[in-house]
Structure 1
Amino acid sequence: MHSDLTQKDIVSYVALGDSFTEGMSDPYPDSDSVPNGRYRGWADRVAEHLARHVGEVRYANLAVRGRLAGQIMTEQVPRAVELAPDLITLCAGGNDIIRPGGDPDATAQILEAGVARLSGTGARLVLFTGFDTGSLSVMRHLRGKVSTYNMHLRAIADRYDCDVVDMWSMRVLADPRAWSWDRLHFSTEGHRRIALRVCEVLGVPVDEDWGAPWPPTEPRDWRSARQEDLHWAREYLVPWIGRRLTGRSSGDGLSAKRPNLEPCSPCE
């Protein structure tokens, strides 16, 4: 039985992962540039929600875009163990699986090694399944790999008594408005809904429903859709392929946005 975080006077929270946990593409209003501006994302939002119900929340976000599972385990997990928080969220493996030849079985083994080490801290540990890529043309072919990884992840969660945020079942994420222009990262609204879902798993009260229906949209003509596809291919697909071919990452040279446990203010 997991402890009720909202009954504590002080809660420390560390978020581990890649671009998903870093918060791309959910910039703060004061972000001056993208992709190097300040991102908010679901993890920041969860910390803010938690701060509404706890005397003090100390929050660190060690996630860096582009990181593979092995990098997260070697770069971020030791720091999380050192910080000894009450709550740890870990989402890893997505960048491994989307790469050519990505092996969900091998990636799950890497993940389990990190989970085993984190579980020794006594922190409440939250894992995330991969989302259903069936509605995304650019990633539809990965659906089988993601589902295989999800089965491994649930088994790992059972072995180490972890909470699981089931992203696969969040059908609201199939709507294009849950995704940013790059079609690889969630939009501000996508991050907001994911944060609400995480709070639900943690038992943190919220006033909104993550699964609320999307409002109706105006139909688009095929010319507009075609122009959007061309823009996406030029601005996002070609650079992504270039990084894969040259072994580069969008996170090269970047470090964690919140490397230390620092006070977090409630959301407005």
Structure 2
Amino acid sequence: METSANYTSFVAVGDSFTEGMSDLLPDGSYRGWADLLAARLAARSPGFRYANLAVRGKLIGQIVDEQVAPAAAMRADLVTLVGGLNDALRPSCDMGRVRARLEEAAATLAPSCRQLVLMRSPGRAGPVMDRFRPRMEELFAVVDAVAARHGALVVDLYGSGALGDPRLWDADRLHLTAEGHRRVAEAVWQTLGLAARDDWRTPLPPAAPARWAARRADDLRFARRHLGPWVGRRLTGRSSGDGLPAKRPELLPYEPPPGPDRPERPS
């Protein structure tokens, strides 16, 4: 049943997942689930305001140090906080520190807004991600505990088998496609108690198995174009977000992006 909740402002805090990679628009910018959610909330509330402070590649400590205080100062109705996965995917990760920084973020954000939302991030099916699943699940246990202490909602994307489907992930195998982001926006929408448009957990239709040669060629392209550069950044302490500004740093009235846009649903 739909609630009567009416959110007049929304601030998104996080990394590349919240920035919207790889939901690419024709002008080369990224859209993503947070923009889609803002558009739907704006349709319900004239004068709706939206800020997105997310920057790709950020670790939880950087998110807390750079984004949390500005987000809290905006006093938005709704705040989403997604972080820690970049930490969990690194070879060395101090989960105690991740836990402390997530707790610090929630303790600052929860009193500043009407509703704080945390997430259990989706996990792509496949051997590369499988090695990190124990640490991911440790992170999500922390997310659940932090949310319980601060009255935050948790969107369980990880628990959906549908979002693990490789067809909902970009060629880099780290970021969702446009359809993946659309499903995340729907999941957050429903977690807020708003009327469902569809079931975001619905699996994609069965696909014919790819030939062995095609799979190996895809693996080689992935390693050359995405895995190699990602490992290189990890080894040198660099980030894909170094020097990049926040996506939408001010809490301003939401307006749809200019120019032609892709439909929310695949044809």
TM-score (norm 1): 0.90
**Corresponding residue of 1:87:** 78
Note if 1:109 corresponds to 2:106.
no
Distance across 1 between alignment mates of 2:54 and 2:113: 21
Match of 1:24 among 5, 21, 26: 21
Deviation at 1:203, TM superposition (A): 2.0
**Corresponding residue of 1:196:** 186
Note if 1:264 corresponds to 2:261.
no
Deviation at 1:168, TM superposition (A): 1.8
Given that 2:59 and 2:84 are in contact with CA atoms closer than 8 Å, whether structure 1 keeps it comes out as yes
Distance across 2 between alignment mates of 1:196 and 1:250: 28
Q: Note the alpha carbon deviations across 1:195-254, whole angstroms, 9 max, x for none.
A: 100100012334222122312323321111111000000000100111011110000110
Distance across 1 between alignment mates of 2:247 and 2:11: 12
Distance across 2 between alignment mates of 1:149 and 1:257: 25
Distance across 1 between alignment mates of 2:90 and 2:113: 33
**Corresponding residue of 1:35:** none
Match of 2:156 among 151, 166, 169: 166
TM-score (norm 2): 0.91
**Corresponding residue of 1:5:** 5
Identity, in percent, stands at: 47
Name the Cα RMSD after superposition.
1.7
Distance across 1 between alignment mates of 2:239 and 2:167: 26
Deviation at 1:162, TM superposition (A): 0.3
Letter in 1 for 2:199: D
Q: What residue ranges of structure 1 are gaps of 5+ in the alignment?
A: 32-37
Q: Note the alpha carbon deviations across 1:91-140, whole angstroms, 9 max, x for none.
A: 0101111001113332111100111011221431000113345x222121
Letter in 1 for 2:89: I
Aligned length: 256
Give the secondary-structure state (helix, strand or coil) at the position aligned to 2:44. Answer: coil
Give the secondary-structure state (helix, strand or coil) at the position aligned to 1:128. Answer: strand
Note if 1:245 corresponds to 2:235.
yes
Give the secondary-structure state (helix, strand or coil) at the position aligned to 1:120. Answer: helix
Give the secondary-structure state (helix, strand or coil) at the position aligned to 1:88. Answer: strand
**Corresponding residue of 2:12:** 15
Given that 2:87 and 2:98 are in contact with CA atoms closer than 8 Å, whether structure 1 keeps it comes out as yes
Q: What residue ranges of structure 2 are gaps of 5+ in the alignment?
A: 257-262
Given that 1:66 and 1:95 are in contact with CA atoms closer than 8 Å, whether structure 2 keeps it comes out as yes
Deviation at 1:22, TM superposition (A): 0.2
Match of 1:43 among 10, 34, 49: 34
**Corresponding residue of 1:209:** 199
Note if 1:157 corresponds to 2:157.
no
Match of 1:124 among 74, 99, 115: 115
Distance 1:208 1:56, change over 3 A: farther
